[in-house]
Structure 1
Amino acid sequence: MDNLIAALEFEIIREHKLITICQNFLNTAPKGFLTVRPRRRSNTYYWTFEDGKGSARKQKQVNITGNHDLILQLTNKMICERILDRCLKNKNLLERLLNRYKPVDPFSVMKSCSTKYQDVFLLRKKHLLEKRLTAPYKKCPYNPKLHVHETDYGELVRSKSEQLLGNTLFAYGIPFHYEEAFECANGVTLFPDFRILLPDSSWKIWEHLGLLSNEGYCSDNAKKLNLFQQNGLVIGGNLILTMDDNKQDFSSAIINQIINDHILPLLHGIRVDKAKIIKGVQQPYMK
Protein backbone atom coordinates (compact mmCIF):
# COMPACT_ATOMS: atom_id res chain seq x y z
CA MET A 1 0.00 0.00 0.00
CA ASP A 2 2.78 2.39 0.92
CA ASN A 3 4.58 1.33 -2.27
CA LEU A 4 1.52 2.21 -4.36
CA ILE A 5 1.25 5.68 -2.83
CA ALA A 6 4.99 6.25 -3.33
CA ALA A 7 4.68 5.09 -6.95
CA LEU A 8 1.77 7.50 -7.56
CA GLU A 9 3.70 10.40 -6.03
CA PHE A 10 6.79 9.54 -8.07
CA GLU A 11 4.79 9.35 -11.30
CA ILE A 12 3.12 12.72 -10.60
CA ILE A 13 6.55 14.29 -10.17
CA ARG A 14 7.74 12.65 -13.39
CA GLU A 15 4.71 13.89 -15.33
CA HIS A 16 5.23 17.40 -13.95
CA LYS A 17 8.86 17.40 -15.12
CA LEU A 18 7.81 16.27 -18.59
CA ILE A 19 5.18 19.02 -18.70
CA THR A 20 7.81 21.63 -17.87
CA ILE A 21 10.22 20.26 -20.50
CA CYS A 22 7.52 20.24 -23.18
CA GLN A 23 6.29 23.73 -22.33
CA ASN A 24 9.82 25.12 -22.48
CA PHE A 25 10.39 23.45 -25.86
CA LEU A 26 7.10 24.70 -27.31
CA ASN A 27 7.88 28.26 -26.23
CA THR A 28 10.82 28.29 -28.66
CA ALA A 29 9.38 26.02 -31.37
CA PRO A 30 8.42 27.38 -34.84
CA LYS A 31 4.83 28.54 -35.24
CA GLY A 32 2.38 26.44 -37.18
CA PHE A 33 2.56 22.74 -37.97
CA LEU A 34 3.81 20.24 -40.54
CA THR A 35 1.57 19.04 -43.37
CA VAL A 36 2.58 15.96 -45.34
CA ARG A 37 1.15 15.23 -48.78
CA PRO A 38 1.90 11.84 -50.34
CA ARG A 39 3.02 11.94 -53.97
CA ARG A 40 3.53 9.13 -56.45
CA ARG A 41 7.27 8.76 -55.75
CA SER A 42 7.75 10.57 -52.43
CA ASN A 43 6.14 12.88 -49.88
CA THR A 44 5.97 16.66 -50.07
CA TYR A 45 6.33 18.57 -46.82
CA TYR A 46 4.64 21.90 -46.11
CA TRP A 47 4.98 24.34 -43.28
CA THR A 48 1.44 25.43 -42.45
CA PHE A 49 0.99 28.54 -40.29
CA GLU A 50 -1.16 31.63 -39.78
CA ASP A 51 0.20 34.76 -41.48
CA GLY A 52 -0.92 38.36 -41.20
CA LYS A 53 -2.98 40.21 -38.59
CA GLY A 54 -6.66 40.80 -37.89
CA SER A 55 -9.05 40.33 -40.83
CA ALA A 56 -6.08 39.91 -43.12
CA ARG A 57 -4.88 36.87 -41.20
CA LYS A 58 -4.71 33.83 -43.49
CA GLN A 59 -3.39 30.31 -43.38
CA LYS A 60 -0.25 29.98 -45.42
CA GLN A 61 1.66 26.94 -46.66
CA VAL A 62 5.29 26.90 -47.65
CA ASN A 63 6.95 23.94 -49.34
CA ILE A 64 9.85 22.91 -47.07
CA THR A 65 10.62 19.50 -48.60
CA GLY A 66 14.30 20.37 -48.86
CA ASN A 67 14.51 21.96 -45.39
CA HIS A 68 15.21 18.91 -43.25
CA ASP A 69 15.96 20.93 -40.09
CA LEU A 70 12.57 22.67 -40.17
CA ILE A 71 10.81 19.37 -40.94
CA LEU A 72 12.41 17.81 -37.84
CA GLN A 73 11.60 20.85 -35.69
CA LEU A 74 7.93 20.73 -36.69
CA THR A 75 7.84 16.96 -36.19
CA ASN A 76 9.35 17.33 -32.70
CA LYS A 77 6.80 20.06 -31.98
CA MET A 78 3.93 17.75 -32.93
CA ILE A 79 5.30 14.95 -30.72
CA CYS A 80 5.90 17.37 -27.86
CA GLU A 81 2.35 18.72 -28.09
CA ARG A 82 0.94 15.22 -27.87
CA ILE A 83 3.21 14.33 -24.95
CA LEU A 84 2.15 17.53 -23.17
CA ASP A 85 -1.52 16.76 -23.70
CA ARG A 86 -1.10 13.21 -22.39
CA CYS A 87 0.98 14.35 -19.39
CA LEU A 88 -1.58 16.96 -18.38
CA LYS A 89 -4.36 14.36 -18.49
CA ASN A 90 -2.24 11.81 -16.63
CA LYS A 91 -1.23 14.31 -13.96
CA ASN A 92 -4.83 15.35 -13.31
CA LEU A 93 -5.95 11.72 -13.18
CA LEU A 94 -3.13 10.64 -10.84
CA GLU A 95 -3.70 13.60 -8.52
CA ARG A 96 -7.40 12.77 -8.27
CA LEU A 97 -6.56 9.12 -7.63
CA LEU A 98 -4.00 10.01 -4.95
CA ASN A 99 -6.47 12.33 -3.21
CA ARG A 100 -9.29 9.78 -3.28
CA TYR A 101 -7.29 6.58 -2.72
CA LYS A 102 -7.54 5.13 0.78
CA PRO A 103 -5.15 2.30 1.64
CA VAL A 104 -6.81 -0.84 2.97
CA ASP A 105 -5.02 -0.77 6.30
CA PRO A 106 -6.96 -2.67 9.00
CA PHE A 107 -5.68 -0.37 11.74
CA SER A 108 -6.73 2.80 9.93
CA VAL A 109 -10.14 1.23 9.33
CA MET A 110 -10.43 0.34 13.00
CA LYS A 111 -9.47 3.86 14.04
CA SER A 112 -12.24 5.26 11.85
CA CYS A 113 -14.80 3.28 13.85
CA SER A 114 -16.36 4.44 17.09
CA THR A 115 -14.01 4.39 20.08
CA LYS A 116 -16.32 1.98 21.92
CA TYR A 117 -15.21 -0.75 19.49
CA GLN A 118 -11.46 -0.19 19.87
CA ASP A 119 -11.04 -2.71 22.71
CA VAL A 120 -12.91 -5.32 20.66
CA PHE A 121 -10.64 -4.75 17.66
CA LEU A 122 -7.51 -5.06 19.82
CA LEU A 123 -8.91 -8.24 21.34
CA ARG A 124 -9.40 -9.65 17.83
CA LYS A 125 -5.83 -8.77 16.82
CA LYS A 126 -4.52 -10.22 20.08
CA HIS A 127 -6.41 -13.45 19.43
CA LEU A 128 -4.94 -13.74 15.90
CA LEU A 129 -1.43 -13.03 17.21
CA GLU A 130 -1.72 -15.65 19.92
CA LYS A 131 -2.99 -18.14 17.35
CA ARG A 132 0.16 -17.56 15.25
CA LEU A 133 2.31 -17.65 18.39
CA THR A 134 1.08 -21.05 19.55
CA ALA A 135 0.96 -22.73 16.14
CA PRO A 136 3.72 -25.31 15.49
CA TYR A 137 6.70 -23.94 13.60
CA LYS A 138 9.98 -25.27 12.28
CA LYS A 139 12.86 -24.28 14.51
CA CYS A 140 16.46 -25.18 15.21
CA PRO A 141 16.76 -28.62 16.87
CA TYR A 142 17.65 -28.56 20.57
CA ASN A 143 21.33 -29.15 21.26
CA PRO A 144 22.12 -29.86 24.95
CA LYS A 145 25.72 -28.70 24.43
CA LEU A 146 24.67 -25.30 23.04
CA HIS A 147 21.24 -24.51 24.51
CA VAL A 148 22.33 -24.16 28.15
CA HIS A 149 20.80 -20.90 29.46
CA GLU A 150 17.23 -21.17 30.73
CA THR A 151 14.88 -18.21 30.31
CA ASP A 152 12.05 -17.07 32.58
CA TYR A 153 9.56 -18.72 30.23
CA GLY A 154 11.29 -22.10 30.30
CA GLU A 155 13.20 -22.08 27.01
CA LEU A 156 16.88 -22.99 26.72
CA VAL A 157 18.93 -20.53 24.63
CA ARG A 158 22.55 -20.33 23.57
CA SER A 159 23.92 -17.32 25.48
CA LYS A 160 23.33 -15.01 28.42
CA SER A 161 22.63 -12.17 25.98
CA GLU A 162 19.91 -14.22 24.28
CA GLN A 163 18.60 -15.11 27.74
CA LEU A 164 18.39 -11.41 28.64
CA LEU A 165 16.74 -10.53 25.33
CA GLY A 166 14.22 -13.37 25.55
CA ASN A 167 13.35 -12.51 29.16
CA THR A 168 12.77 -8.87 28.21
CA LEU A 169 10.49 -9.71 25.28
CA PHE A 170 8.60 -12.10 27.56
CA ALA A 171 8.22 -9.44 30.26
CA TYR A 172 6.74 -6.99 27.73
CA GLY A 173 4.28 -9.58 26.44
CA ILE A 174 5.71 -9.33 22.94
CA PRO A 175 4.91 -12.37 20.76
CA PHE A 176 8.03 -14.07 19.39
CA HIS A 177 9.54 -17.36 18.27
CA TYR A 178 13.10 -18.37 19.14
CA GLU A 179 15.27 -19.74 16.32
CA GLU A 180 12.37 -20.15 13.88
CA ALA A 181 13.52 -21.43 10.48
CA PHE A 182 14.14 -18.78 7.81
CA GLU A 183 14.06 -20.39 4.37
CA CYS A 184 16.35 -18.71 1.82
CA ALA A 185 15.68 -18.69 -1.90
CA ASN A 186 18.75 -20.83 -2.62
CA GLY A 187 17.52 -23.66 -0.38
CA VAL A 188 19.62 -22.73 2.66
CA THR A 189 17.77 -22.69 6.00
CA LEU A 190 18.86 -20.19 8.67
CA PHE A 191 17.73 -20.01 12.28
CA PRO A 192 17.76 -16.33 13.39
CA ASP A 193 17.66 -15.64 17.11
CA PHE A 194 14.18 -14.13 17.52
CA ARG A 195 11.27 -13.60 15.14
CA ILE A 196 8.94 -10.86 16.44
CA LEU A 197 5.33 -11.46 15.33
CA LEU A 198 3.31 -8.34 14.41
CA PRO A 199 -0.48 -7.77 14.19
CA ASP A 200 -0.50 -7.13 10.42
CA SER A 201 0.81 -10.70 9.83
CA SER A 202 4.35 -9.42 9.20
CA TRP A 203 7.37 -9.91 11.45
CA LYS A 204 10.80 -8.60 12.38
CA ILE A 205 13.95 -10.65 12.84
CA TRP A 206 16.09 -9.77 15.86
CA GLU A 207 19.59 -11.13 15.45
CA HIS A 208 22.12 -10.67 18.26
CA LEU A 209 25.86 -10.99 17.63
CA GLY A 210 27.74 -12.10 20.72
CA LEU A 211 31.20 -13.52 20.00
CA LEU A 212 32.50 -10.83 17.65
CA SER A 213 35.96 -11.20 19.21
CA ASN A 214 36.08 -14.61 17.49
CA GLU A 215 37.21 -14.27 13.86
CA GLY A 216 35.48 -17.46 12.74
CA TYR A 217 32.21 -16.33 14.34
CA CYS A 218 32.50 -13.00 12.52
CA SER A 219 33.07 -14.74 9.21
CA ASP A 220 30.06 -17.04 9.70
CA ASN A 221 27.80 -14.11 10.57
CA ALA A 222 29.01 -12.07 7.61
CA LYS A 223 27.83 -14.93 5.37
CA LYS A 224 24.52 -15.03 7.27
CA LEU A 225 24.00 -11.27 6.83
CA ASN A 226 24.74 -11.67 3.13
CA LEU A 227 22.00 -14.30 2.89
CA PHE A 228 19.63 -12.08 4.86
CA GLN A 229 20.25 -9.22 2.44
CA GLN A 230 19.75 -11.46 -0.62
CA ASN A 231 16.43 -12.65 0.81
CA GLY A 232 14.81 -9.31 1.56
CA LEU A 233 15.94 -8.45 5.09
CA VAL A 234 17.09 -4.87 5.71
CA ILE A 235 18.79 -3.57 8.86
CA GLY A 236 16.56 -0.89 10.35
CA GLY A 237 13.54 -2.35 8.54
CA ASN A 238 12.55 -5.96 9.10
CA LEU A 239 15.95 -6.83 10.64
CA ILE A 240 17.08 -5.64 14.07
CA LEU A 241 20.78 -6.20 14.65
CA THR A 242 22.46 -5.88 18.08
CA MET A 243 25.81 -6.94 19.49
CA ASP A 244 27.73 -7.38 22.74
CA ASP A 245 30.15 -4.61 23.70
CA ASN A 246 33.92 -5.11 24.01
CA LYS A 247 33.38 -6.52 27.51
CA GLN A 248 30.97 -9.18 26.20
CA ASP A 249 28.02 -7.40 27.84
CA PHE A 250 24.59 -6.58 26.41
CA SER A 251 22.83 -3.57 27.91
CA SER A 252 19.21 -3.83 29.12
CA ALA A 253 18.83 -0.14 28.34
CA ILE A 254 19.59 -0.80 24.65
CA ILE A 255 17.06 -3.63 24.54
CA ASN A 256 14.36 -1.46 26.13
CA GLN A 257 15.05 1.45 23.80
CA ILE A 258 14.79 -0.76 20.70
CA ILE A 259 11.58 -2.33 21.97
CA ASN A 260 10.00 1.04 22.76
CA ASP A 261 11.11 2.70 19.52
CA HIS A 262 10.80 -0.08 16.95
CA ILE A 263 8.45 -2.80 18.24
CA LEU A 264 5.79 -1.46 20.62
CA PRO A 265 4.48 1.16 18.11
CA LEU A 266 3.84 -1.68 15.64
CA LEU A 267 1.86 -3.67 18.23
CA HIS A 268 -0.67 -0.83 18.75
CA GLY A 269 -1.02 -1.55 22.45
CA ILE A 270 -1.39 -5.32 22.08
CA ARG A 271 0.27 -7.55 24.67
CA VAL A 272 -0.13 -11.30 24.45
CA ASP A 273 -0.71 -13.48 27.49
CA LYS A 274 2.57 -14.82 28.82
CA ALA A 275 1.01 -18.27 29.08
CA LYS A 276 0.65 -18.21 25.29
CA ILE A 277 4.37 -17.46 24.88
CA ILE A 278 5.14 -20.47 27.08
CA LYS A 279 2.69 -22.59 25.09
CA GLY A 280 4.47 -21.53 21.89
CA VAL A 281 7.81 -22.57 23.37
CA GLN A 282 6.41 -25.97 24.27
CA GLN A 283 5.37 -26.74 20.68
CA PRO A 284 7.12 -29.85 19.29
CA TYR A 285 9.99 -29.35 16.90
CA MET A 286 8.92 -29.54 13.25
CA LYS A 287 11.20 -30.98 10.59
Structure 2
Amino acid sequence: MYRLKEMLLQEQKHLEAILAKTSNNNSSTPEGRLRISMNHGNVRYYNCTNGRDGDYIPKENELLPRQLAQKTYNDSILKAAEAHKKLIDGFLKDYKENEIEELFTSLHPERQKLITPVEPTYAQLEQKWYSEPYIGKEFNEGTPVIISEKGERVRSKSEKILADYFYRNNILYKYEKPLTLAGYGTVYPDFTFFSKKLKKEIYWEHEGMMDNPEYATAAIKKLNNYQMNGILPGERLILTFETEKDVLNTKIVTNLVNKYLR
Protein backbone atom coordinates (compact mmCIF):
# COMPACT_ATOMS: atom_id res chain seq x y z
CA MET A 1 0.00 0.00 0.00
CA TYR A 2 3.02 2.29 0.22
CA ARG A 3 2.89 2.73 -3.53
CA LEU A 4 -0.73 3.88 -3.27
CA LYS A 5 0.07 6.51 -0.67
CA GLU A 6 3.13 7.69 -2.58
CA MET A 7 1.13 8.06 -5.80
CA LEU A 8 -1.65 9.92 -3.99
CA LEU A 9 0.84 12.33 -2.40
CA GLN A 10 2.30 13.01 -5.84
CA GLU A 11 -1.19 13.54 -7.27
CA GLN A 12 -2.01 15.87 -4.37
CA LYS A 13 0.99 18.06 -5.24
CA HIS A 14 0.04 17.91 -8.92
CA LEU A 15 -3.49 19.09 -8.19
CA GLU A 16 -2.22 21.88 -5.93
CA ALA A 17 -0.01 23.11 -8.77
CA ILE A 18 -2.94 22.98 -11.22
CA LEU A 19 -5.18 24.92 -8.81
CA ALA A 20 -2.55 27.60 -8.24
CA LYS A 21 -1.81 28.02 -11.95
CA THR A 22 -5.45 28.02 -13.04
CA SER A 23 -6.57 30.43 -10.31
CA ASN A 24 -3.80 32.81 -11.27
CA ASN A 25 -4.75 32.64 -14.96
CA ASN A 26 -8.39 33.42 -14.16
CA SER A 27 -7.61 36.38 -11.92
CA SER A 28 -7.46 38.88 -14.80
CA THR A 29 -10.05 37.50 -17.25
CA PRO A 30 -12.94 39.75 -18.37
CA GLU A 31 -16.53 39.38 -17.22
CA GLY A 32 -18.97 37.27 -19.22
CA ARG A 33 -19.36 33.93 -20.91
CA LEU A 34 -18.61 33.00 -24.50
CA ARG A 35 -21.43 31.92 -26.81
CA ILE A 36 -20.54 30.54 -30.24
CA SER A 37 -22.99 30.68 -33.12
CA MET A 38 -22.69 29.32 -36.67
CA ASN A 39 -24.27 31.32 -39.50
CA HIS A 40 -23.92 29.84 -43.02
CA GLY A 41 -20.62 28.29 -42.10
CA ASN A 42 -19.30 31.42 -40.43
CA VAL A 43 -18.41 31.47 -36.74
CA ARG A 44 -19.76 34.30 -34.60
CA TYR A 45 -18.77 35.00 -31.03
CA TYR A 46 -20.93 36.64 -28.34
CA ASN A 47 -20.12 37.77 -24.82
CA CYS A 48 -22.97 36.87 -22.50
CA THR A 49 -22.86 39.00 -19.38
CA ASN A 50 -26.54 39.11 -18.45
CA GLY A 51 -28.89 37.73 -21.09
CA ARG A 52 -28.57 34.51 -23.07
CA ASP A 53 -27.85 36.02 -26.47
CA GLY A 54 -25.02 38.31 -25.40
CA ASP A 55 -23.22 41.07 -27.26
CA TYR A 56 -21.61 40.36 -30.61
CA ILE A 57 -17.80 40.37 -30.54
CA PRO A 58 -16.36 42.02 -33.66
CA LYS A 59 -13.87 39.98 -35.70
CA GLU A 60 -11.10 42.48 -35.04
CA ASN A 61 -11.35 41.71 -31.31
CA GLU A 62 -9.52 38.38 -31.52
CA LEU A 63 -8.40 38.34 -27.90
CA LEU A 64 -11.75 38.46 -26.09
CA PRO A 65 -13.18 35.15 -27.43
CA ARG A 66 -9.96 33.38 -26.45
CA GLN A 67 -10.07 34.88 -22.96
CA LEU A 68 -13.72 33.90 -22.41
CA ALA A 69 -13.21 30.38 -23.77
CA GLN A 70 -10.15 29.92 -21.58
CA LYS A 71 -12.07 31.24 -18.57
CA THR A 72 -14.87 28.66 -18.96
CA TYR A 73 -12.33 25.88 -19.45
CA ASN A 74 -10.35 27.02 -16.40
CA ASP A 75 -13.51 27.10 -14.28
CA SER A 76 -14.18 23.46 -15.21
CA ILE A 77 -10.60 22.53 -14.37
CA LEU A 78 -10.81 24.30 -10.99
CA LYS A 79 -14.03 22.50 -10.11
CA ALA A 80 -12.68 19.06 -11.06
CA ALA A 81 -9.27 19.60 -9.42
CA GLU A 82 -10.83 20.87 -6.18
CA ALA A 83 -13.16 17.84 -6.04
CA HIS A 84 -10.30 15.38 -6.66
CA LYS A 85 -8.05 17.08 -4.13
CA LYS A 86 -10.81 16.99 -1.51
CA LEU A 87 -11.14 13.23 -1.97
CA ILE A 88 -7.38 12.68 -1.71
CA ASP A 89 -7.04 14.99 1.31
CA GLY A 90 -9.75 13.04 3.13
CA PHE A 91 -8.20 9.67 2.32
CA LEU A 92 -4.70 10.71 3.38
CA LYS A 93 -6.01 12.21 6.61
CA ASP A 94 -7.56 8.93 7.74
CA TYR A 95 -5.21 6.44 6.09
CA LYS A 96 -2.57 4.78 8.26
CA GLU A 97 0.06 3.21 6.06
CA ASN A 98 1.16 0.40 8.38
CA GLU A 99 -1.99 -0.01 10.47
CA ILE A 100 -2.46 -3.73 9.70
CA GLU A 101 1.10 -4.56 10.73
CA GLU A 102 1.02 -2.27 13.76
CA LEU A 103 -2.05 -4.02 15.13
CA PHE A 104 0.29 -6.97 15.68
CA THR A 105 3.60 -5.29 16.49
CA SER A 106 2.00 -2.99 19.08
CA LEU A 107 0.92 -6.00 21.17
CA HIS A 108 2.89 -7.17 24.18
CA PRO A 109 5.64 -9.61 23.08
CA GLU A 110 4.10 -12.43 25.15
CA ARG A 111 0.75 -11.89 23.43
CA GLN A 112 2.45 -11.87 20.03
CA LYS A 113 3.77 -15.35 20.76
CA LEU A 114 0.18 -16.60 20.99
CA ILE A 115 -0.93 -15.10 17.68
CA THR A 116 -0.31 -15.93 14.05
CA PRO A 117 -0.43 -12.60 12.19
CA VAL A 118 -2.74 -12.46 9.20
CA GLU A 119 0.28 -11.33 7.17
CA PRO A 120 3.98 -11.69 8.03
CA THR A 121 5.46 -8.49 9.43
CA TYR A 122 8.24 -6.71 7.59
CA ALA A 123 10.73 -7.83 10.24
CA GLN A 124 9.70 -11.46 9.72
CA LEU A 125 9.93 -11.17 5.94
CA GLU A 126 13.32 -9.45 6.14
CA GLN A 127 14.74 -12.06 8.52
CA LYS A 128 13.52 -14.89 6.29
CA TRP A 129 15.11 -13.19 3.27
CA TYR A 130 18.34 -12.50 5.14
CA SER A 131 18.67 -16.09 6.36
CA GLU A 132 18.47 -17.55 2.84
CA PRO A 133 21.99 -18.64 1.75
CA TYR A 134 23.60 -17.58 -1.50
CA ILE A 135 26.94 -17.91 -3.26
CA GLY A 136 28.60 -14.61 -4.06
CA LYS A 137 31.18 -13.74 -6.67
CA GLU A 138 34.66 -15.21 -6.25
CA PHE A 139 37.72 -13.02 -5.73
CA ASN A 140 40.56 -13.33 -8.20
CA GLU A 141 43.95 -14.28 -6.84
CA GLY A 142 46.03 -11.24 -5.98
CA THR A 143 43.03 -8.98 -5.32
CA PRO A 144 43.63 -6.73 -2.26
CA VAL A 145 42.03 -8.08 0.91
CA ILE A 146 39.63 -5.48 2.32
CA ILE A 147 37.47 -6.53 5.25
CA SER A 148 34.34 -4.67 6.39
CA GLU A 149 33.30 -4.15 10.01
CA LYS A 150 30.77 -6.93 9.48
CA GLY A 151 33.72 -9.21 8.83
CA GLU A 152 33.18 -9.90 5.15
CA ARG A 153 35.51 -9.27 2.27
CA VAL A 154 34.70 -6.48 -0.19
CA ARG A 155 36.42 -5.30 -3.37
CA SER A 156 37.19 -1.64 -2.72
CA LYS A 157 37.61 0.98 -0.03
CA SER A 158 34.42 2.69 -1.18
CA GLU A 159 32.46 -0.55 -0.87
CA LYS A 160 33.89 -0.89 2.66
CA ILE A 161 32.63 2.63 3.45
CA LEU A 162 29.17 1.66 2.24
CA ALA A 163 29.16 -1.73 3.96
CA ASP A 164 30.31 -0.20 7.24
CA TYR A 165 27.64 2.51 7.01
CA PHE A 166 24.91 -0.09 6.56
CA TYR A 167 26.30 -2.26 9.34
CA ARG A 168 26.54 0.60 11.86
CA ASN A 169 22.97 1.65 11.06
CA ASN A 170 21.57 -1.88 11.41
CA ILE A 171 20.57 -2.09 7.76
CA LEU A 172 20.58 -5.71 6.65
CA TYR A 173 22.17 -6.31 3.26
CA LYS A 174 23.65 -9.05 1.12
CA TYR A 175 26.95 -8.36 -0.59
CA GLU A 176 27.22 -9.46 -4.23
CA LYS A 177 24.15 -11.67 -4.18
CA PRO A 178 23.72 -13.03 -7.74
CA LEU A 179 20.91 -11.66 -9.90
CA THR A 180 19.98 -12.93 -13.36
CA LEU A 181 19.12 -10.28 -15.95
CA ALA A 182 17.35 -11.59 -19.04
CA GLY A 183 19.36 -10.90 -22.16
CA TYR A 184 22.51 -10.15 -20.19
CA GLY A 185 23.29 -12.92 -17.71
CA THR A 186 24.22 -13.01 -14.07
CA VAL A 187 25.26 -9.82 -12.30
CA TYR A 188 26.40 -9.38 -8.73
CA PRO A 189 24.92 -6.13 -7.35
CA ASP A 190 27.25 -4.57 -4.81
CA PHE A 191 24.48 -4.61 -2.20
CA THR A 192 21.02 -6.14 -2.12
CA PHE A 193 18.34 -5.13 0.40
CA PHE A 194 14.81 -6.21 1.23
CA SER A 195 12.80 -3.01 0.88
CA LYS A 196 10.40 -2.13 3.67
CA LYS A 197 8.39 0.02 1.29
CA LEU A 198 8.18 -2.38 -1.65
CA LYS A 199 8.44 -5.71 0.19
CA LYS A 200 10.86 -6.94 -2.46
CA GLU A 201 14.56 -6.81 -3.25
CA ILE A 202 16.21 -3.58 -4.29
CA TYR A 203 19.80 -3.11 -5.42
CA TRP A 204 22.66 -0.68 -4.87
CA GLU A 205 25.37 -0.41 -7.47
CA HIS A 206 28.46 1.71 -6.82
CA GLU A 207 30.33 2.52 -10.02
CA GLY A 208 33.72 3.59 -8.77
CA MET A 209 35.90 4.25 -11.83
CA MET A 210 33.69 6.26 -14.15
CA ASP A 211 36.65 8.23 -15.49
CA ASN A 212 38.02 4.97 -16.94
CA PRO A 213 36.45 4.68 -20.44
CA GLU A 214 36.50 0.88 -20.55
CA TYR A 215 35.01 0.61 -17.05
CA ALA A 216 32.37 3.25 -17.82
CA THR A 217 31.31 1.49 -21.02
CA ALA A 218 30.83 -1.82 -19.18
CA ALA A 219 28.97 -0.07 -16.34
CA ILE A 220 26.56 1.66 -18.71
CA LYS A 221 25.84 -1.62 -20.51
CA LYS A 222 25.08 -3.32 -17.21
CA LEU A 223 22.88 -0.48 -15.93
CA ASN A 224 20.96 -0.39 -19.22
CA ASN A 225 20.24 -4.09 -18.81
CA TYR A 226 18.90 -3.49 -15.31
CA GLN A 227 16.41 -1.10 -16.88
CA MET A 228 15.58 -3.50 -19.71
CA ASN A 229 14.59 -5.93 -16.97
CA GLY A 230 12.29 -3.40 -15.30
CA ILE A 231 14.69 -2.55 -12.47
CA LEU A 232 14.71 1.22 -12.71
CA PRO A 233 16.86 3.84 -10.98
CA GLY A 234 14.87 5.64 -8.31
CA GLU A 235 12.61 2.61 -7.82
CA ARG A 236 14.54 -0.61 -7.28
CA LEU A 237 18.01 0.51 -8.28
CA ILE A 238 20.13 2.88 -6.18
CA LEU A 239 23.22 4.31 -7.84
CA THR A 240 26.37 6.03 -6.62
CA PHE A 241 29.29 7.05 -8.79
CA GLU A 242 32.91 7.94 -8.30
CA THR A 243 35.94 9.12 -10.22
CA GLU A 244 39.51 9.70 -9.14
CA LYS A 245 38.71 13.36 -8.41
CA ASP A 246 35.08 13.00 -7.28
CA VAL A 247 35.09 10.44 -4.48
CA LEU A 248 32.14 8.83 -2.73
CA ASN A 249 30.07 11.49 -0.97
CA THR A 250 28.77 10.25 2.38
CA LYS A 251 26.09 12.96 2.47
CA ILE A 252 24.66 11.53 -0.74
CA VAL A 253 24.81 8.06 0.81
CA THR A 254 22.85 9.28 3.85
CA ASN A 255 20.20 10.92 1.65
CA LEU A 256 19.79 7.75 -0.43
CA VAL A 257 19.54 5.57 2.68
CA ASN A 258 16.87 7.84 4.17
CA LYS A 259 14.87 7.80 0.96
CA TYR A 260 15.04 4.11 0.07
CA LEU A 261 16.08 2.11 3.11
CA ARG A 262 14.29 3.66 6.09
Q: TM-score, normalised by structure 2?
A: 0.60
For 2:77 and 2:207, the matched residues in 1 are separated by 51
Q: Which residue among 69, 78, 81 is the counterpart of 2:60?
A: 69
For 1:217 and 1:44, the matched residues in 2 are separated by 65
Which residue of the partner structure matches residue 205 of structure 1? 203
Pair 1:12-2:12 in alignment: no
Contact 1:46 1:63 in 2 (8 A): yes
For 1:59 and 1:265, the matched residues in 2 are separated by 56
Which residue of the partner structure matches residue 85 of structure 1? 75
For 2:142 and 2:183, the matched residues in 1 are separated by 27
Contact 1:26 1:80 in 2 (8 A): no
For 2:53 and 2:206, the matched residues in 1 are separated by 79
For 1:192 and 1:179, the matched residues in 2 are separated by 5
Contact 1:179 1:194 in 2 (8 A): yes
Which residue of the partner structure matches residue 284 of structure 1? none
For 2:82 and 2:11, the matched residues in 1 are separated by 15
- Matching of residues 109-148 of structure 1 within 5 Å: 116-117=106-107, 124-135=121-132, 141-142=137-138, 145=141
Higher helix share: 1
* Structure with more contact order per residue of length (Cα contacts < 8 Å, sep ≥ 6): 1
Contact 1:32 1:49 in 2 (8 A): yes
Cα distance change, pair 173–44 in 1 and its aligned pair in 2 (3 A): closer
Q: Which residue among 87, 107, 113 is the counterpart of 1:97?
A: 87
Cα distance change, pair 108–35 in 1 and its aligned pair in 2 (3 A): same
Which residue of the partner structure matches residue 278 of structure 1? none
For 1:239 and 1:45, the matched residues in 2 are separated by 58
For 1:212 and 1:88, the matched residues in 2 are separated by 48
For 1:97 and 1:91, the matched residues in 2 are separated by 10
Cα distance change, pair 25–152 in 1 and its aligned pair in 2 (3 A): closer
- Matching of residues 1-287 of structure 1 within 5 Å: 1-27=5-31, 34=35, 36=37, 41-42=40-41, 45=44, 47=46, 67-70=58-61, 75-76=65-66, 78-102=68-92, 106-107=97-98, 116-117=106-107, 124-135=121-132, 141-142=137-138, 145=141, 149=145, 157-158=154-155, 162=159, 166=163, 169=166, 173-182=170-179, 187=184, 189-200=186-197, 201-208=199-206, 216-217=214-215, 220-221=218-219, 223-224=221-222, 231-234=231-234, 238-239=237-238, 241=240, 263=257
Q: How far off its partner does 1:90 sit?
A: 1.7
Unpaired runs of at least 5, structure 2 = none
The count of residues paired between Structure 1 and Structure 2 equals 244
Cα distance change, pair 141–226 in 1 and its aligned pair in 2 (3 A): same
Q: How far off its partner does 1:240 sit?
A: 5.1
For 1:267 and 1:146, the matched residues in 2 are separated by 34
Larger radius of gyration: 1
For 1:62 and 1:117, the matched residues in 2 are separated by 72
